[in-house]
Amino acid sequence: MGGCTGPCKPKHSSTGRCPRRTFTQLIGGLQGLAFLKHVLGHKVSSEREDTGKYAARFRATPALLNFCTENGVDPTKVHDHFEFEYDLLKHVLELRARKPEDFHSSTRPSGKPLEFERDGIVRAIESNVRELNEYFDKQSLRGGSHHGYIRIFHNGDVEDFGWNKGGRLYSQHFVDSYQVMSAERRRRMTINGEPVAEIDISASYLTLFLSLHGIQLDTTKDPYELSGLGKEHRSAVKSWMVATFGSTKPTRRWPPRMLKKSPELRQYRVSTIKEAAFDKYPVLERWGTPLRGRIHGWADLMWMESAVMFGTMCDLMREHDTPSLSVHDSLIVPASRAEVAVEAIKKRCGAQWEVEPRLKINWPSAD
């Protein structure tokens, strides 16, 4: 369960809705019962002018969670009963430098933030993100947390950068947002009181990579089912695709950080999967080689994907008055608008990349 954040210094506490003395007594009482853990302040604001702003965090202890459960209060449904308000972000774009190229390292730090000029294209992107944020801020989300998006672009220090690398939307505040929830929990959310559906683009990066070579993915078949490999290989095949598109060449061994997260991958031979993948998709052998004068990498595929999803969200907002939430390669919408969203995604994929996506609708989870 996440924690609440806020400044604890007296000069801040006395100006809020809760008087300082009441707040201090409440915190002290909960800590005395071992119901609350106080985490020292750390940076929570991404605003450039607020780089010195720090806030404390308070987290529920297992004792409090057990106490709630024993008394019929489900801690996972906190957002059904409490609404946390934040001001929408002023700065909605972030630009980062290249990440280290070694996907096989145990850690892969993000590229460092870069300064950028707010020219015409930047102002246009910012305007669209703000429009989405302001539109969704008028909606009612229950079962999850979302307080606007930041759109993050990558590889801003490469020669051919033109706001065409990365570009995914990250919900704020990310560590507590709906984007870090399980798919099952997300499908228990409601928007404006209506259950939601989540529409996934199956094998998004593979679909877009094939489209670069003029190849349409067969949308009638599972893209991760390979000849000679049983269904038990499916998750390993998907992991191989993820590792390959996250690297500079088709992967030849499981990345350590992937093995740490999914140790069961050790039972699958990478060479066997690679050969079967090349047999079904021969063009995969060309991943990491020049295409029409330049090499496409993970940030290019992410941009292609984000352009479709962001464009679809704007279309749904402007043309259908339909709110939506992004989970990178999927969209969450009110269930009654699922078919509208499907057609909007297809339209965007066709218009931007001349490809038809393989889509799956995940309907609301039953209580």
Three-class secondary structure assignment of 94-117:
EEECCCCCCCCCCCCCCCCECCCC
- Dihedrals φ, ψ of 362, to 5°? -100, 110
**110: Cβ contacts below 8 Å, ≥ 6 apart:** 96, 99
Specify whether 174 is located in the same domain as 103. yes
**The predicted structure's pLDDT at residue 22:** 81
pLDDT (average), residues 101-119 = 71
Rg (CA), the chain: 23
- Sign of the dihedral defined by the CA atoms of residues 335, 339, 340, 346, in that order: positive
Label residue 50 by pLDDT band (50, 70, 90).
very low
**The predicted structure's pLDDT at residue 45:** 44
The 8-class DSSP code of residue 57 comes to E
Specify whether 106 is located in the same domain as 164. yes
Specify whether 146 is located in the same domain as 58. no
Specify whether 240 is located in the same domain as 347. no
**The predicted structure's pLDDT at residue 181:** 94
The per-residue pLDDT for range 236-284, each reduced to its tens digit, is 999 999 999 999 999 999 999 999 999 999 999 999 999 999 999 999 9
Residue 55 has pLDDT above 80, yes or no: no
Total tally of structural domains belonging to the chain? 3
Specify whether 55 is located in the same domain as 106. no
The 8-class DSSP code of residue 84 comes to -
pLDDT (average), residues 145-153 = 95
Residue 215, in any domain of the structure: no
Residue 9 has pLDDT above 50, yes or no: no
Q: Which amino acid is at 273?
A: I
Are the CB atoms for 166 and 96 separated by under 8 Å?
yes
In this structure, the chain runs to a length of 367
333 three-state secondary structure: strand
Percent of the chain with pLDDT over 90: 69
362 forms beta bridges with: 198
**The predicted structure's pLDDT at residue 30:** 85
Residue 87, in any domain of the structure: no
Label residue 74 by pLDDT band (50, 70, 90).
confident
Specify whether 338 is located in the same domain as 266. no
Range of the domain at 69: 4-73
Specify whether 136 is located in the same domain as 194. yes
Task: Give dist(CA 90, CA 361) in Å, integer.
Answer: 34
Label residue 56 by pLDDT band (50, 70, 90).
low
Beta 149-153 vs 93-95: how paired, if at all?
Answer: parallel
Q: Is the model's pTM score more than 0.85?
A: no
Task: Give dist(CA 118, CA 124) in Å, integer.
Answer: 9
Residue 313, in any domain of the structure: yes
Average pLDDT of the residues of the chain: 87
Q: Which amino acid is at 170?
A: Y
Task: Give dist(CA 245, CA 250) in Å, integer.
Answer: 8
Encoding tokens for residue 146? 């979302």
3-state secondary structure 167-227: EEEEECCHHHCHHHCCHHHHCCCEECCEEEEEEEECCHHHHHHHHHCCCCCCCCCCCCCCC
Specify whether 232 is located in the same domain as 179. no
58 forms beta bridges with: 4, 38
**The predicted structure's pLDDT at residue 218:** 97
Beta 330-334 vs 325-326: how paired, if at all?
Answer: antiparallel
Q: Which conformational region is residue 106 in: left (phi greater than 0), alpha (psi within -120 to 50 degrees), or beta?
A: alpha
The per-residue pLDDT for range 308-341, each reduced to its tens digit, is 999 999 999 999 999 999 999 999 999 999 999 9
Task: Give dist(CA 57, CA 41) in Å, integer.
Answer: 7
Encoding tokens for residue 62? 């297992």
